[in-house]
């Protein structure tokens, strides 16, 4: 089977590599010529454990070819970006372009799979009409499937194989055809359904998480007001066998949690007040963190170092990153802000410069490098204060003031006349 992957980003490239690892002939197409050139030279352009080695192997044995010109194939897998528009609705322009690129190459019996996360009814409302206008009968001439990606950055190579897959066909025959494609390597259960159900299922997976994180973040705010440690509350509540309050943080990022709920709310705004409220709570957290910096420092901070630019620990993805939004809010307050992230090339600055004379360090991303910090960096700060929004720091120093989202109440409701260590 020859497979064409359209879009070689965080999902498309690992997917292409995985098919090639399992002896399928794969071409990887991307409109970004710099990406193609880098891949053709043997190097990936994203950070993902195990991906570089696997990519080199399939590149060298000829099973994967990065190309700048799409070619005929048996199966076309679309994994292009689906950003949200100004009104937060799903922007389908990259999907439409991909389908337009595929149509001249289509032959009867081909399968088109959309992996990009989309609003409900996109497969049947956007892709199917384009194909039918070109003269193809979906379910007879060609098969059209929505199979949403369901992987966690940092564990993609393992989860591609072992996670369950939802195979949503425009027709039952389409779903069966999609299942035959993924059975080449997927060991998890393959759930066959219709395309619209598959679309909404993926969106609700991330909306569930976004909503539960919003509950935890609202708990942080109310606990600070009530002089209670929110993290202690969560730990104790979660000892109940039927309770699982999620972990609070500085907001949510990435293309999933920060975007997917909007694809639901814009499709049915009157029916989704809870989802909309959850989104507003999580969107408010970067500003809340910036406000907390003001409170903790009595509005005297002149320089703050933000530790992390990526939206998630140990990856280089900065899409919708709350860390960068925190930086923006602090800069609007006239504070000099340095963002340091060893995983993101643009923000991999000299940490000595970032920490020197800083009034506070804000841990905004849970990178392993931030669990402990060199004492030379901490002692170079004007005020040795760490505001850890991820609750990961393991260091200690008698002069260190350590604040978490659980201990904000000590600064909101009491005079700031003491320092404390992490328990």
Spatial separation of the C-alpha atoms in residues 92 and 81, rounded to whole Å: 9
Spatial separation of the C-alpha atoms in residues 234 and 220, rounded to whole Å: 10
Task: For residue 415, count CB atoms less than 10 angstroms from its CB and return exposed for 0-12, middle for 13-18, buried for 19 or more.
Answer: exposed
Spatial separation of the C-alpha atoms in residues 67 and 37, rounded to whole Å: 9
Residue that is written with structure tokens 């975007």 in the block: 259
Asked whether residue 377 carries a pLDDT value surpassing 90, the answer given is yes
Q: Which of 21, 256, 303, 325 is catalytic?
A: 256
The yes-or-no answer on residue 33 being catalytic is no
The answer to whether residues 304 and 361 touch, using CB atoms and an 8 Å cutoff, is yes
Model confidence at 172, pLDDT cuts 50, 70, 90, reads very high
Report the percentage of the chain scoring pLDDT > 70.
Answer: 97
Asked whether residue 417 carries a pLDDT value surpassing 50, the answer given is no
- Supply the pLDDT for residue 112: 98
pLDDT tens by residue, 378-388: 999 999 999 99
| Of 181, 226, 173, 175, residue with least CA distance to 196 | 175
Spatial separation of the C-alpha atoms in residues 138 and 170, rounded to whole Å: 7
- Containing 147, the helix (H) or strand (E) segment is none
Q: Can you give the pTM of this predicted structure?
A: 0.90
Asked whether residue 418 carries a pLDDT value surpassing 60, the answer given is no
- Residues 92, 93, 98, 104: is their CA dihedral positive or negative? positive
- What lies within 8 Å, CB to CB, of 367 at 6+ separation is 307, 308, 310, 313, 314, 341, 342, 343
DSSP code at position 90:
B
- Supply the pLDDT for residue 415: 41
- Supply the pLDDT for residue 412: 64
Asked whether residue 195 carries a pLDDT value surpassing 80, the answer given is yes
**Average pLDDT of the segment spanning 28-55:** 96
The yes-or-no answer on residue 303 being catalytic is no
Model confidence at 413, pLDDT cuts 50, 70, 90, reads low
- Supply the pLDDT for residue 108: 96
Q: Which of 21, 202, 303, 390 is catalytic?
A: 202
Three-class SS string for 295-316?
HHCCCCCCEEEEECCCCCCCCC
Cα–Cα separations (whole angstroms), residue 100 to 106, 250, 312: 10, 40, 34
Report the percentage of the chain scoring pLDDT > 90.
Answer: 92
- Supply the pLDDT for residue 398: 81
**Average pLDDT of the segment spanning 162-174:** 97
Asked whether residue 397 carries a pLDDT value surpassing 90, the answer given is no
**Average pLDDT of the segment spanning 212-216:** 98
Neighbours of 159 (CB within 10 A): 17
**Average pLDDT of the segment spanning 158-185:** 97
> Across all residues in the chain, what is the average pLDDT?
95
Neighbours of 408 (CB within 10 A): 24
pLDDT tens by residue, 115-162: 999 999 999 999 999 999 999 999 999 999 999 998 988 899 999 999
Q: Which domains are delineated in the chain?
A: 2-202 (3.40.50.720), 228-423 (3.40.50.720)
**Average pLDDT of the segment spanning 284-305:** 96
């Amino acid at each position: 089977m020859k497979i064409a992957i359209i879009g070689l980003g965080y999902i498309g490239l690992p997917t292409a590599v995985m098919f090639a690892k399992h002896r399928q002939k794969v071409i990887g197409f991307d409109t970004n010529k710099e990406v193609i050139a880098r891949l053709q030279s043997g190097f990936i352009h994203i950070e993902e454990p195990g991906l570089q080695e696997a990519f080199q192997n399939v590149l060298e044995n000829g099973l994967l070819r990065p190309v700048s010109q799409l070619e005929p194939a048996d199966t076309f897998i679309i994994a292009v970006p689906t950003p949200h528009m100004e009104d937060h609705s799903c922007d389908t322009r990259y999907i439409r372009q991909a389908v337009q690129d595929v149509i001249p190459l289509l032959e009867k019996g081909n399968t088109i799979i959309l992996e990009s996360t989309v609003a409900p009814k996109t497969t049947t409302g956007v892709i199917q009409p384009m194909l039918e206008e070109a003269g193809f009968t979906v379910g007879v001439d060609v098969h059209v499937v929505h199979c949403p990606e369901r992987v966690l950055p940092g564990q993609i190579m393992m989860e591609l194989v072992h996670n369950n897959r939802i195979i949503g066909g425009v027709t039952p025959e389409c779903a069966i055809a999609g299942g035959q494609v993924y059975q080449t390597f997927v060991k998890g259960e393959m759930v066959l359904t219709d395309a619209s159900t598959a679309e909404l299922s993926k969106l609700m997976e991330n909306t569930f998480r976004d909503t539960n994180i919003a509950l935890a973040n609202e708990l942080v705010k109310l606990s600070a007001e009530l002089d209670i440690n929110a993290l202690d509350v969560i730990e104790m509540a979660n000892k109940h066998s039927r309770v699982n309050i999620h972990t609070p943080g500085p907001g949510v990022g990435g293309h999933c949690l920060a975007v997917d709920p909007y694809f639901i709310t814009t499709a049915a705004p009157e029916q989704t007040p809870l989802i909309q409220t959850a989104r507003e709570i999580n969107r408010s957290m970067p500003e809340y963190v910036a406000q907390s910096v003001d409170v903790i420092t009595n509005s005297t901070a002149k320089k703050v170092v933000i530790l992390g630019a990526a939206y998630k620990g140990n990856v280089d993805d900065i899409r919708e990153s709350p860390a960068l939004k925190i930086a923006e809010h602090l800069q609007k307050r006239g504070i000099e802000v340095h963002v340091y992230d060893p995983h993101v090339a643009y923000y991999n600055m000299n940490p000595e410069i970032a920490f020197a004379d800083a009034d506070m360090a804000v841990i905004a991303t849970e990178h392993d490098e931030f669990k402990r910090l060199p004492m030379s960096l901490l002692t170079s700060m004007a005020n040795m204060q760490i505001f850890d929004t991820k609750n990961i720091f393991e260091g200690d120093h008698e002069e260190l003031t350590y604040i978490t989202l659980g201990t904000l109440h000590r600064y909101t409701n009491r005079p700031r006349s003491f320092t404390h260590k992490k328990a």
